[in-house]
């Protein structure tokens, strides 16, 4: 089943954009009510679908990683009002889309493999959603909006009830300025007793939500926050040292984990490579270096791609610099940043000899 799914998906993947358009067109035809769950502009949603598919295909033979991801996804979809009947329409639309673009690679055995795989996926998502007694989402009030630079803001919110996330996880958020345009962001702080959550959000080209958050969010705004997702975490008792690789605002979940670890005196060693194009991109560097001065288990290495005049930093891409130090075979590796940064870094580390089962990253952390 694994081989047939991967071989047929390899044929389909070059047509990713057309696959996503066909899938959503078929879904909305089969179940018109689902259209109201999505924004008018479907560009990000189509990209997110393909990232989810790629992630699932990559993990289809690793159920210990795949099933927790699917269960989190099922709990997260409660915020849309998804019910069991919607899963049938999604399955039909998915298999129809893959079939259309797989061409001769689509055989009865391949169809059976995809059908069996989707049945397992849908069951894991449905069971998790049905078993979740918590809220489908939380309301949270903006306490502070701090403009760090022209394209970056730090936003602090007070949820109406504590959000039960772990340091390193991410959540989906919806803002009043951009209804139904849910985006995934990682809290930059460990859970606090007062429940306050801090987000670091950078405005990106074409980013309807990020540009609105940076430019127009005000204290008093009410956001909606979806259930926590993700598998970036550190087990302090496991006995393994940690390598963290973060690009831009991908440093937020790493900061949250470090924030939590700093509450303890005894920790595994943590080596953090924090990268950007210019020094301005490393907006959190001073804070992290201050933490490192009082926590000898933490080493912070700044990395710049396009700012050769800055001293005290490594020059090059994160993929270049991290692998320049070695393969990190004995470390648990956490990676967060743009999809392109994650792809290039993970690929280079695998070539350098880093074991795949030591590397963790999440597919949705940045849109």
Per-residue pLDDT for the chain (367 aa), expressed as one digit of tens each?
A: 889 999 999 999 899 889 989 999 999 999 998 888 877 777 767 777 777 787 888 888 888 888 988 898 899 888 888 888 889 999 999 999 999 999 999 999 999 999 999 999 999 999 999 998 889 999 999 999 999 999 999 999 999 999 999 999 999 999 999 888 889 999 999 999 999 999 999 998 777 889 999 999 999 999 999 999 998 999 998 989 999 999 999 999 999 999 999 999 899 999 999 999 999 999 999 999 999 999 999 999 999 998 888 889 999 999 999 999 999 999 999 999 988 899 999 999 999 999 999 999 987 654 4
At 45, is the secondary structure helix, strand, or coil? helix
At 52, is the secondary structure helix, strand, or coil? helix
The number of CA neighbours under 13 Å toward the Cβ of 281 is 21
Question: If phi over 0 gives left and psi between -120 and 50 gives alpha, with beta otherwise, what is residue 66?
Answer: alpha
- pLDDT tens string 312-355: 999 999 999 999 999 999 999 999 998 889 999 999 999 999 99
Structure confidence at residue 358 (pLDDT)? 94
Q: What is the DSSP letter of 166?
A: P
Query: Under a CB-based contact definition with an 8 Å cutoff, are residues 271 and 296 in contact?
Result: no
- pLDDT tens string 110-165: 999 999 999 999 999 999 999 988 899 999 999 999 999 999 999 999 999 999 99
């Amino acid at each position: 089943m694994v081989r047939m799914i991967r071989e047929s998906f390899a044929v389909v993947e070059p047509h990713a954009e057309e696959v996503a358009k066909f899938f959503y067109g078929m879904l909305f035809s089969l179940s018109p009510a689902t259209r109201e769950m999505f924004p008018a502009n479907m560009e990000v949603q189509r990209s997110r679908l393909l990232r989810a598919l790629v992630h699932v295909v990559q993990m289809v033979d690793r159920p210990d990683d795949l099933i927790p991801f699917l269960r989190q996804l099922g709990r997260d979809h409660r915020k849309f009002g998804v019910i069991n009947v919607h899963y049938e329409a999604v399955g039909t639309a998915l298999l129809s889309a893959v079939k259309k673009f797989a061409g001769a690679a689509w055989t009865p055995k391949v169809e059976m493999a995809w059908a069996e795989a989707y049945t397992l996926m849908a069951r894991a998502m449905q069971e998790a959603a049905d078993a979740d007694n918590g809220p489908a989402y939380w309301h949270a009030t903006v306490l502070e909006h701090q403009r760090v630079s022209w394209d970056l803001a730090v936003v602090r919110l007070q949820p109406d009830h504590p959000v039960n996330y772990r340091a390193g996880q991410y959540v989906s958020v919806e803002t009043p300025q951009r209804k139904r345009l849910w985006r995934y962001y990682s809290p930059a702080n460990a859970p606090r007793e007062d429940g306050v959550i801090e987000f670091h959000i950078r405005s990106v080209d074409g980013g309807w939500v990020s540009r609105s958050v940076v430019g127009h969010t005000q204290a008093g705004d009410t956001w909606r926050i979806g259930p926590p997702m993700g598998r970036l975490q550190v087990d302090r008792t496991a006995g393994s040292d940690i390598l963290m690789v973060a690009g831009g605002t991908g440093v937020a979940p790493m900061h949250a984990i470090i924030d939590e670890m700093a509450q303890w005196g005894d920790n595994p060693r943590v080596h953090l490579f924090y990268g950007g194009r210019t020094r301005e991109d490393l907006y959190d560097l001073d804070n992290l270096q201050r933490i490192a001065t009082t926590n000898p288990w933490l080493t912070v290495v700044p990395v710049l791609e396009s700012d050769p005049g800055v001293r005290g930093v490594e020059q090059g891409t994160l993929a270049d610099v991290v692998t320049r130090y070695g393969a990190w075979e004995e470390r648990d590796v956490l990676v967060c940043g743009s999809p392109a940064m994650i792809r290039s870094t993970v690929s280079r580390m695998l070539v350098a000899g880093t074991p795949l089962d030591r590397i963790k990253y999440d597919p949705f952390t940045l849109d």
